[in-house]
Amino acid sequence: MTGMQFGIFTVGDVTADPTTGRTPTEHERIKAMMTIAKHAEDVGLDVFATGEHHNEPFVPSSPAAMLGYLAGVTERIILSTSTTLITTNDPVRIAEEFAMLQHLADGRVDLMLGRGNTPPVYPWFGQDGRNALPLTIENYELLRRLWDEHTVTWSGRFRAPLQGFTSTPRPLDGVAPFVWHGSIRTPQVAELAAFYGDGFFANHIFWPRQHFARLVGLYRERYEHYGHGRADQAIVGLGGQVFLRPRSQDAVAEFRPYFDNAPVYGHGPSLEEFTSQTPLTVGSPQEVIDKTLTFRETFGDYQRQLFLLDHAGLPLRTVLEQLDLLGGEVVPVLRRELDAMRPADVPGGPTHGARVAARYAAASVVGEAVSDDVAAQERNEHDTPGLVDDAYVVGQR
């Protein structure tokens, strides 16, 4: 059984360092993100995930290209997205790009689907933001079919029909990338994740955890309703934010100017107010451990914890130091504690290898059941011939 997965996710913002006034170039920021991802693997993290944005001041407009590069320079870390826009990307392109990534990374690929948080992106890609939810549902239904079926004939509201189409390459080992559905406020997305038996990721950044607990609770309830397993066996991921230094007072003093001037939450609540009301933790490794362990009390056993580290203008050197502390002092403790508390029948984080093994194990069970049925029919034909004919007729009805 796989265990808890820990990693980082990035939004790829290009923000001035408030302590120096310097803004990195797009080239510098992109290269820095690649360095951060490689260092995340070096310090023992399990996942690197990037968002998708098509507007300034963000640079990750092409996650597939970024992750394709990382597939060639990493060996172990899972490469993911922290948003792939299911509403404005063509499902055919998503199917092809992420199946290709699977092959390049030997299965170390999954993705998180979401609607994004930039309304103007819809007309940029020829869509109407008022159709956000119907687009989400229709595009995902098509994406799922493109991966699960070899030949697809399909028609819908928002793209040209497909007639006898096969997406290439086919998913590695016949198993599509694992899908997370991410949302910060939309219960229909939690319902969609539950319906398909996929994972649900709660951003868990800006709002109090009680808000996200309601979404996760709904997802768990509906996951069980659709017959994928018990509610506590549903696949949940959480975000979080940390800034670490060996001494708490040093972390607060160093991070405060970045927090106060951050484009997203600067000039609002104080750092102290924000850390008391949201999952943001600014302090020592032990404080990060203690606060992160409380997430389980709210959300139950979950499978993936991603932290946001590289934002608000923090220089690359500082982010790499954060990774050293996270990988060296925080994650080993969290991994040990959370895996020890997880019941044996609650799954760990999804991996390609585990999902391939589960698929073939299930196929073996089905094959054995079919063989047993055939053997039973042969016995019935020998002993009581009429029963087989009756069963056959009932089956045809």
pTM above 0.85, yes or no: yes
- Tens of pLDDT, residues 65-97: 999 999 999 999 999 999 999 999 999 999 999
* Any domain includes 183: yes
- Domain co-membership, 321 together with 389: no
Percentage of residues in the chain having pLDDT higher than 90: 76
Question: Does 328 score more than 50 pLDDT?
Answer: yes
Is pLDDT at 375 greater than 60 in this prediction?
Answer: no
Segments in the chain forming alpha helices (H): 26-42, 63-73, 91-104, 121-124, 132-148, 187-196, 209-225, 248-261, 271-277, 285-293, 295-299, 316-325, 331-341, 352-383, 385-396
Q: Are residues 365 and 312 in the same domain?
A: no
Q: In this structure, are 345 and 369 located in the same domain? A: no
Going from the C-alpha of 226 to that of each of 176, 188, 299, 301, the distances in angstroms are 20, 15, 20, 20
CATH number at residue 164: 3.20.20.30
How confident is the model at residue 360, as a pLDDT? 87
Verify that 250 and 345 share a domain, yes or no: yes
**Does pLDDT of 385 surpass 50?**
no
Alpha-carbon span 22 to 210, nearest angstrom: 37
Q: Report the range of poorest mean pLDDT among 202-206, 246-250, 286-290, 371-375.
A: 371-375
Query: How would residue 368 be classed by pLDDT, with cut points 50, 70 and 90?
Result: low
Asked, for residue 72, whether it belongs to a domain, the answer is yes
Q: How confident is the model at residue 208 (pLDDT cuts 50, 70, 90)?
A: confident
Query: Cα 330 vs. chain centroid, distance in angstroms?
Result: 21
CA–CA separation, 231 vs 197, rounded Å? 11
What does the pLDDT look like over 211-241, one tens digit per residue? 899 999 999 999 999 999 999 999 999 999 9
pLDDT at 350 over 50: yes
What is the reported pLDDT for 115? 84
| pLDDT average, residue stretch 326-343 | 97
| pLDDT on residue 185 | 83
SS (H, E, C) 360-372: HHHHHHHHHHHHH
Cα separation, 391 vs 140, whole angstroms? 39
The whole-number pLDDT of residue 365 equals 61
Same domain (yes/no): 292, 387: no
Specify whether 282 is located in the same domain as 247.
yes
Q: What per-residue confidence (pLDDT) applies to 391? A: 27
**Per-residue pLDDT tens over the stretch 113-129:** 998 767 788 888 888 88
Same domain, 100 and 163: yes
**Alpha carbon distance 336, 280 (integer Å):** 22
Query: Which domain range does residue 379 map to?
Result: 360-396
pLDDT at 395 over 60: no
Determine, yes or no, domain membership for 355.
Answer: no
Residues 123 and 174 in one domain: yes
Amino acid 176: pLDDT: 98
Confidence at residue 366, expressed as pLDDT on a 0 to 100 scale: 53
pLDDT for residue 15: 95
Query: Which H helix or E strand runs over 237?
Result: strand 236-238
Virtual torsion, Cα 259, 261, 263, 264, nearest 10 deg: 30
Can you give the pLDDT at residue 382? 39
Q: What is the mean pLDDT of the chain?
A: 89
- The pLDDT of residue 344 is 95
pLDDT, residue 2, reads: 78
> What was the pLDDT predicted at 126?
84
Is 120 a member of any domain?
Answer: yes
Q: pLDDT tens for residues 153-202?
A: 999 999 999 999 999 999 999 999 999 999 888 899 999 999 999 999 99
Please indicate, yes or no, whether residues 269 and 179 belong to a single structural domain of this protein. Answer: yes
What is the number of structural domains in the chain?
A: 2
pLDDT confidence of residue 367: 57
Alpha carbon 160 to its chain centroid, in Å, reads 28
Residues 103, 237, single domain; the answer is yes
Q: Is 125 among the domain residues? A: yes
Residues 387, 251 within the same domain: no
Q: What is the mean pLDDT of residues 300-314?
A: 96
For residue 376, pLDDT beyond 60:
no
Please report, rounded to a whole number, the percentage of residues in the chain having pLDDT higher than 70.
91
Whole-number pLDDT of residue 196: 97
Closest CA to 95 of 152, 168, 161: 168
Place of tokens 């001041």: 57
391 and 271 share one domain: no
The pLDDT confidence band at residue 203, using thresholds 50, 70 and 90, is: confident
